[in-house]
């Protein structure tokens, strides 16, 4: 393998979590409508942000998180900066609890994710209620967060394989 190809590969590995996060945003913007729209699309970027903030913060710097959130704001047509702020808060929560979570069982980390998702939901609900002038119904948000929490173990397992076998491999 040439020097240039090797460099490209290294770049791709370093950017993989960011690209996954951006791809998660694209998935959120697709008309997936599982079971006639009864099941909300899980917020995969939140999983990406949380996972890499715990297991490889160097692979997902705050700037990447900011741009993932910004893309989501622009694509969903909501207020600009909202999802960027939400993901950054999720990253902050993950980073601050990182020493505790490292080396723990997946179940424990999962509970950590539930807390991060709850914190994110609270910000989302508060800001959107403030902007619309009424207290918004929380059901749709709860369902979507629930879907995200349910898929977390599956995605975390896949991300962990990717991280250990491909990204960190020297």
Q: Which residues bind another protein (CB under 8 A)?
A: 26, 28-33, 35-38, 40-41, 57, 61-63, 65-66, 69, 71, 74-82, 84-85, 88-89, 91-92, 95, 124, 127-128, 130-132, 136-137, 139-141, 143-144
CB of 41 to another protein, least distance (A): 4
Which residue, 9 or 143, is less far from another protein as judged by CB?
143
Residue 92 CB, nearest approach to another protein (Å): 6
Q: Where are the alpha helices (DSSP H) in 29-138?
A: 44-55, 62-76, 82-96, 98-101, 106-132
- Cβ partners under 8 Å of residue 159, min gap 6: 20, 47, 48, 51, 52, 55
Closest CB 107 distance from another protein, rounded Å:
26
CB 74 within 8 A of CB 97: no
Q: Is residue 100 within 8 Å of residue 62, measured between CB atoms?
A: no
Q: Residue 108 CB, nearest distance to another protein (Å)?
A: 22
| Cα–Cα distance for residue pair 67/74, rounded to 1 Å | 10
Report yes or no: 68 and 90 within 8 Å, Cβ to Cβ: no
Please say which residue, 2 or 132, places its beta carbon nearer to another protein. 132
- Smaller CB separation from another protein, 6 or 37: 37
Which structure tokens are listed for 119? 């914190």
To the nearest whole angstrom, how small is the minimum distance from the Cβ of residue 159 to another protein? 20
Decide whether 118 or 140 has the Cβ nearer to another protein: 140
CB nearer to another protein: pick between 90 and 156? 90
Tokens of 41: 């699309």
């Amino acid at each position: 393998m040439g020097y240039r190809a090797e460099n490209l590969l290294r770049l791709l590995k370093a950017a993989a979590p960011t690209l996954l996060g951006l791809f998660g945003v694209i998935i959120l913007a697709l008309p997936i409508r599982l079971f006639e729209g009864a099941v909300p699309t899980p917020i995969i970027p939140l999983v990406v942000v949380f996972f890499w903030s715990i297991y490889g913060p160097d692979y997902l710097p705050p700037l990447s998180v900011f741009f993932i959130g910004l893309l989501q704001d622009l694509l969903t047509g909501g207020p600009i900066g909202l999802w960027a702020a939400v993901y950054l808060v999720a990253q902050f929560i993950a980073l601050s609890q990182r020493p505790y979570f490292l080396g723990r069982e997946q179940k424990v980390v999962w509970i950590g994710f539930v807390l991060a998702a709850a914190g994110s939901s609270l910000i989302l609900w508060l800001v959107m209620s403030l902007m619309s002038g009424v207290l918004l119904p929380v059901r749709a948000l709860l369902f979507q967060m629930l879907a995200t929490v349910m898929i977390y173990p599956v995605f975390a397992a896949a991300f962990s394989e990717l991280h250990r076998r491909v990204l960190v491999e020297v």
